[in-house]
């Protein structure tokens, strides 16, 4: 049986095929060049340098805490606990405004310069808080202090986005200081809350050294705003609108996950803000040092949940991307957030409220401490996913993304903090905590919607600079 000879294609078909092959070849070369350039950007720093950078910006994310010392401060300035706790709401508001401003300036001037600028204000504010003699003075200087260190978290997240690739960003999470409340309690018990504020000011001065010696400018070359201005025109200080970053919330994706993060974060505030007046009074803990120690499980939970959640989110991104043959879907980052948003955070705050209300003695106290630890894991497990998702979503404005999201968190928390103690006094610990758990579950619904319809939401909303691979 003879086979028919294979005839060459007609000349006109071959002529049409050549431009297509050339175009595909050019596209392949362009993609290879882009991938190579992409790799070089993230290879500017060695692994040891990256570790040192993350350690420095993690320390820079520290926010002074007043909560364990509220009763002592109230007695010292002749005020009341609820009145002094209002400084917490005010400092949260300052953090919201400060994070937006510092992140905006970091996009223009770079990360390193803005770290130095914030430290100056932190030091002045800390000295002012230590010298405050009246409640108005305390409020003013606490606002200044919080404003100065407000850039720590968004700047740190921006730095991580600068130096780590997509599938590595979650693992390099910023870690909240677990021992801060304990230190505050010890200072109030054995020294003075004023001494603690002076130590914070000294800490701000000492932080100049590692930032100056070990923190390089991490912004991608040529991407800062000042890089696009001719050298002869770089005079004066660029004026940044501090609330311009909130415009990024026009993205429904970012707005949804930020609201969800706020709802989950509320469970932590409901547990921690009234701790001296709930757990402290319920289990007869009168020592400020011991009250501060009760915050420690929550901090340890955060230290566990943040890197764990980040690592899990990176693993999920890689696996789903592999399953899709290399296709990158932004919302894969959020798929494991249900562990913290549905289980750990809401169930822990609900259980803690019921235990505090109905379980006496050592058993009750131990169960509450376990709930605090579990809540710390759950909250940071969710926030690590949503923060990394925000950086992925609009990578070119990573610090502003984190600042906008944090600002929304802080604005909601500022309002919530002002009503937590009154709610506990009027409705009881159990009812207040159950209400927080319900809000957390409702909040997670926004994450679920984003996972399922994230691509469509981006397609039918205003493009605020969404990332591409």
CA distance 199 to 193: 10
Q: Is residue 449 part of a domain?
A: yes
pLDDT over threshold 90, residue 344 = yes
Residue 444 belongs to domain spanning: 48-216+244-459
Q: Is 140 exposed, middle or buried (0-12, 13-18, 19+ CB in 10 A)?
A: middle
Q: Is residue 37 part of a domain?
A: no
Q: Please, are residues 138 and 129 in contact by the beta-carbon 8 Å criterion? A: yes
Q: Please report the pLDDT score of residue 444 as a whole number.
A: 95
- What are the φ/ψ torsions at residue 292 (nearest 5 degrees)? -60, -35
pLDDT digit string, tens, across residues 193-226: 788 788 888 888 888 888 888 889 988 887 788 8
pLDDT digit string, tens, across residues 388-411: 888 788 777 777 777 788 888 878
pLDDT over threshold 70, residue 451 = yes
Q: Is residue 395 part of a domain?
A: yes
Q: What percent of the chain has pLDDT over 70?
A: 80
> Residue range 51-75: average pLDDT?
68
Q: Is residue 11 part of a domain?
A: no
CA distance 321 to 307: 21
Handedness of CA 86, 90, 95, 96 (dihedral sign): positive
Between 252 and 461, the more confident residue is 252
Output the domain CATH number for residue 88.
1.20.1250.20
Q: Name which of 243-247, 321-325, 446-450 the model is least confident about.
A: 243-247
Largest CA distance in the chain: 108
Q: Is residue 13 part of a domain?
A: no
Residues whose CB falls within 8 Å of the CB of residue 174, separated by 6 or more in sequence, listed in order: 54, 57, 58, 61, 153, 156, 157, 160, 306
By residue count, the chain amounts to 469
Q: Please, are residues 255 and 454 in contact by the beta-carbon 8 Å criterion? A: no
Q: Tell me how crowded residue 24 is: count the other CB atoms within 10 A of its CB.
A: 10
CA distance 199 to 123: 10
CA distance 384 to 108: 26
CA distance 141 to 138: 5
Cα-based distances in Å from 414 to 277, 310, 379, 442 = 19, 27, 18, 20
Question: Which of 385, 388, 402 has the alpha carbon at shortest distance from 107?
Answer: 402
Q: Can you read off the two tokens belonging to residue 226?
A: 């000042």
pLDDT digit string, tens, across residues 78-131: 777 667 767 777 887 888 888 888 888 888 888 888 888 888 999 999 999 989
Question: Which of 436, 399, 407 has the alpha carbon at shortest distance from 92?
Answer: 407
Q: Angle at Cα 427 formed by Cα 423 and Cα 429, nearest 5°?
A: 80
Q: Is residue 235 part of a domain?
A: no
CA distance 160 to 170: 9
Q: Please, are residues 170 and 309 in contact by the beta-carbon 8 Å criterion? A: yes
Q: Angle at Cα 418 formed by Cα 276 and Cα 296, nearest 5°?
A: 35
Q: Can you read off the two tokens belonging to residue 147?
A: 């404003």
pTM of the complete model = 0.71
Q: Please report the pLDDT score of residue 178 as a whole number.
A: 47
Q: Is residue 179 part of a domain?
A: yes
Residues whose CB falls within 8 Å of the CB of residue 158, separated by 6 or more in sequence, listed in order: 103, 106, 111, 218, 391, 398, 399, 400, 402
Q: Please, are residues 116 and 419 in contact by the beta-carbon 8 Å criterion? A: no
pLDDT digit string, tens, across residues 92-103: 788 888 888 888
Between 372 and 14, the more confident residue is 372
Q: Tell me how crowded residue 423 is: count the other CB atoms within 10 A of its CB.
A: 18
Between 129 and 467, the more confident residue is 129
CA distance 222 to 398: 16
Helix (H/G/I), strand (E/B), else coil: 112? helix
Number of domains in the chain: 1
Q: Is residue 66 part of a domain?
A: yes
pLDDT digit string, tens, across residues 370-391: 999 999 999 988 988 888 888 7
Question: Which of 326, 280, 224 has the alpha carbon at shortest distance from 429?
Answer: 280
H-run or E-run covering 32: helix 11-42
Q: Tell me how crowded residue 8 is: count the other CB atoms within 10 A of its CB.
A: 7
Q: Please report the pLDDT score of residue 60 as a whole number.
A: 63
> Residue range 170-186: average pLDDT?
53
Cα-based distances in Å from 183 to 191, 200, 290, 325 = 11, 11, 10, 50
Q: How far is CA 357 from the centre of its chain?
A: 32
Between 10 and 120, the more confident residue is 120
């Amino acid at each position: 049986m003879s086979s028919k000879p294979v005839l060459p294609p007609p000349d006109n078909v071959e002529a049409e095929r050549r431009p297509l092959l050339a175009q595909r070849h050019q596209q392949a070369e362009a993609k290879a060049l882009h991938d190579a350039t992409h790799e070089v950007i993230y290879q500017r720093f060695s692994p040891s340098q990256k570790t040192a950078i993350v350690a420095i910006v993690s320390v820079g994310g520290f926010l002074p805490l007043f909560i364990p010392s509220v009763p002592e401060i109230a007695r010292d300035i002749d005020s009341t606990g609820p009145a002094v706790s209002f400084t917490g709401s005010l400092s949260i508001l300052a953090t919201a405004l400060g994070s937006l401003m510092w992140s905006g300036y970091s996009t223009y001037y770079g990360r390193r310069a803005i770290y130095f600028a914030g430290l100056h204000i932190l030091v002045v504010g800390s000295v002012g808080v230590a010298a405050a003699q009246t409640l108005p003075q305390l409020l003013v200087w606490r606002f200044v202090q919080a404003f100065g260190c407000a850039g720590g978290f968004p700047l740190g997240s921006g730095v991580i986005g600068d130096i780590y690739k997509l599938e590595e960003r979650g693992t390099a999470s910023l870690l909240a200081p677990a021992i801060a409340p304990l230190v505050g309690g010890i200072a109030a018990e054995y020294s003075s809350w004023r001494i603690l504020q002076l130590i914070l000011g000294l800490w701000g001065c000492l932080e100049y050294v590692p930032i100056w010696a070990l923190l390089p400018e991490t912004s991608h070359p040529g991407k800062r705003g000042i890089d696009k201005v001719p050298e002869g025109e770089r005079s004066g200080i660029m004026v940044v609108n501090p609330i311009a970053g909130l415009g990024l919330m026009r993205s429904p994706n970012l707005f949804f996950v930020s609201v969800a993060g706020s709802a989950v974060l509320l469970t932590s505030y409901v547990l921690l803000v009234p701790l001296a007046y709930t757990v402290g009074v319920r289990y007869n803990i009168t020592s400020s040092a011991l009250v501060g120690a009760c915050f420690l499980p929550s901090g340890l939970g955060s230290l566990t949940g943040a890197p764990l959640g980040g690592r899990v989110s990176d693993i999920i991104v890689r696996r789903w991307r592999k399953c899709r043959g290399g296709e990158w879907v932004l919302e894969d980052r959020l798929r494991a957030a249900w562990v913290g948003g549905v289980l750990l955070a809401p169930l822990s705050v609900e259980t803690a409220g019921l235990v505090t209300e109905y379980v006496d003695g050592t058993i009750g106290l131990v169960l509450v401490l376990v709930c605090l630890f579990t809540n710390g894991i759950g909250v940071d497990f969710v926030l690590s996913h949503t923060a990394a998702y925000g950086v992925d979503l609009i990578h070119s404005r990573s610090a502003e993304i984190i600042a906008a999201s944090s600002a929304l968190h802080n604005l909601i928390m500022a309002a919530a903090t002002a009503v937590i103690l009154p709610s506990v006094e009027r409705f009881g610990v159990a009812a207040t905590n159950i209400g927080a758990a319900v809000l957390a579950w409702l909040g997670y619904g926004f994450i679920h919607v984003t996972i399922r319809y994230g691509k469509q939401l981006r397609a039918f909303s205003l493009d605020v600079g969404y990332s591409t691979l």
